[in-house]
């Protein structure tokens, strides 16, 4: 079987991507400041938790370089890094804002990038 030859980390990234694409993830977060905005750290934590819950895998290592502004259509790109160093892009897109509550969808890219040697 082809999947048996893949490293576990690569298979895990593939599973995360497939589940996020097929099932999709959504999240809602209440923010406490005057302008709805989710900090990059809180966004990374929320994305990691939602992907883990969707895939049944441990929480992946997610980093987000910027905050997610609570404006419908705003997208922030994050990166999932596997234990072997390979990476997968993940997008968080605001779908609605209700006062200080930001609702957003999470979608993983279809292709992972191998670790740099």
Say if pTM beats, i.e. exceeds, 0.85: no
What pLDDT is stored for residue 16 in this prediction? Answer: 52
- % helix / strand / coil in the chain, to the nearest 5? 30, 35, 35
- Cα-based distances in Å from 87 to 45, 80, 82: 17, 5, 6
Alpha carbon separation from 96 to 19, 32, 72, 90 (Å, rounded):
23, 17, 5, 19
Check pLDDT > 70 for residue 98. Answer: yes
* Cβ 47 vs Cβ 78: under 8 Å: yes
41-97 pLDDT tens trace? 999 999 999 999 998 999 999 999 999 999 999 999 999 999 899 999 999 999 999
């Amino acid at each position: 079987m082809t999947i048996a030859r893949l490293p576990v980390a690569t298979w895990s990234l593939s599973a995360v991507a497939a589940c996020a694409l097929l099932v999709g993830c959504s999240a809602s977060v209440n923010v406490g400041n005057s302008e709805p905005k989710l900090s990059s750290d809180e966004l990374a934590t929320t994305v990691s938790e939602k992907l883990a819950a969707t895939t049944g895998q441990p929480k992946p290592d997610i980093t987000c370089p910027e905050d997610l502004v609570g404006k419908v259509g705003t997208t922030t790109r994050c990166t999932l890094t596997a234990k072997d160093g390979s990476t997968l892009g993940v997008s968080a897109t605001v779908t609605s804002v209700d006062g200080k509550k930001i609702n957003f969808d999470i979608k993983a890219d279809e292709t992972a990038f191998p670790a740099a040697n």
